[in-house]
Amino acid sequence: MSPIEIGVSSVVLIVFFIYTGLYIPVALGLISFVGVWIIRDNVDIAVALLSESVSDTISALTFAAIPLFALMGLITQKAGIGRDVYEVANFIFYRIRGGLGIATVAANAIFASITGSSIASASVFTKVAVPEMRRFGFKTRFSVGVVAGSSVLGMLIPPSNMLIIYAIVTEQSIGQMFIAGIVPGILLAIAYAGLILFLAYFVPRFVGGQQSAGIAAEDWASMNWFDFSAKVTPVIILVLVVLGGIYGGIVTPVEAGALGALTALIIAIVKRALSLRDFWEILVETGHIAASILFLIISASMYSRMLGVAGLPTLFGDFLIHMELTLVTLMVIYVIMLILLGTILDTSSIILIIVPLFLGVLDSYGIDLVWFGIVTVVGAEIGLLTPPLGISCFVIKSTIDDPSVSLADIFIGALPFAVTMLLVLIVLIAYPVLSLGLLNFSFL
């Protein structure tokens, strides 16, 4: 077999093994190692490339942002900040038809800005929002769909682990990626709120809850402004510390992660929401999260090097250039690939598999890699809501602990949000300024 044939076969095999359930980093690393071995007919070269993949990736200071933001997210989750944010959002939106759904979106957007994890958002708000929405008469499919749809905001609104991974793969500034994700994240949250209003007024049988609006208003209006301030102040502090520090050029993203984790720890201690045992469990879980992500990045680095040895990115780039595709056609092809892969792979795997293939052709189109990263993350996020993988939907199913709520109910409830996300993606592609505009005012 030629190097090109081996490269193409390796991509197919990686997708196949991941789809059959093999641990993603193992699939990437094993196939890449064997691919280099076969291409060069020398196992020492494969070992050397594996060693370089380790030393040239996770040894960089940039990777410290991953465990630090994971630590911050876990502490805020344990401190009950997610529940506080949801109660504040309900206090603001309870008068609006479908207001609890909008409150869930708003709370998820705020929670995402201090955790950066869709999985954490899906887990927290399944426990917090779904029971409340069902208590006030909202349909089960709508309730779980709102949580599933809004949970993906954690992948886009900074700090986001996916933006960190993309920045590392493409050697872009993590700070610039964070800033570029702000407006698209807010736009997506607004689009979700608009969708909920549309469904509440024009498809009320799908939403439900209208008959309980008076009860909800009476229940949530009891919150006084002192309670409101006590619940919202920690969130404001964390957002100012993390995003304010990065956006103002005061701290680097890594330093912002450390400062955010320390601030979250202080808040949790002040709230008396964190015991020594809890803190130890959080540290252990942070280690697990960091290890899994860093292992994935090492494997992906090996995969990228294997593709380079096979010459596949150059060949693929030349193929696209010789086809003389317009930028619109290229982006259509790219988005379709993102969505199709999203039905079987998680977002990080999609970024690590598909982005290296397209990097070689982007310069010829004058594509900004920061904007391309936002498009990539949003496109890959759609897969979090679509079968058969739909990670956010699976997290909700495993968290809700209710046999009457089927996985099909969650996927059906999430479908309108997946369609809305696709429409927002089209807008972001058509108007790059939405992603890049804030960079003109940053110090990064």
Average pLDDT over residues 7-36: 77
Q: What is the pLDDT of residue 216?
A: 47
DSSP label at 117?
A: -
pLDDT at 52: 76
pLDDT at 49: 77
Beta bridge partners of 138: 208
What pLDDT is recorded for position 428? 95
Nearest to 374 by CA among 436, 323, 327: 436
More confident residue, 185 or 61: 185
Instruction: Return the number of other C-beta atoms located less than 10 Å from residue 390's C-beta.
Output: 24
Tens of pLDDT, residue by residue over 220-241, are: 455 567 777 788 888 888 888 8
Residue 369 has pLDDT above 80, yes or no: yes
**Dihedral of the alpha carbons of 193, 199, 204, 209, in degrees to the nearest 10:** -20
Place of tokens 């309980």: 212
Quick one: angle between helices 118-135 and 81-93, nearest 10? 50
- Report residue 138: phi and psi, to 5°: -75, 145
Strand partners for 208? 138
Confidence grade of residue 443 (pLDDT, cut at 50, 70, 90): very low
Question: On the CB side of 247, how many CA atoms lie within 13 Å of its CA?
Answer: 17
Residue 267 has pLDDT above 70, yes or no: yes
Rounded Cα distance between 244 and 75, Å, is: 20
Tokens in use for 413?
């409830």
Burial class (CB in 10 A: 0-12, 13-18, 19+), 402: middle
- Give the three-class secondary structure for 79: coil
Task: Report the helix count and the strand count for the chain, using DSSP H and E.
Answer: 24, 0
Q: What is the pLDDT of residues 130-167, one digit of tens each?
A: 887 887 788 999 999 999 888 888 788 887 878 888 98
Q: Which amino acid is at 95?
A: R
Taking 50 as the threshold, does the pLDDT of residue 212 lie above it? no
Give me the residue spans of the domains in the chain: 3-441
Q: Is the per-residue pLDDT at 215 higher than 50?
A: no
Q: Is 156 helix (H, G, I), strand (E, B) or coil?
A: coil
Mean pLDDT of 120-138: 80
Across 419-440, average pLDDT: 92
DSSP label of 312 = H
pTM, full prediction:
0.79
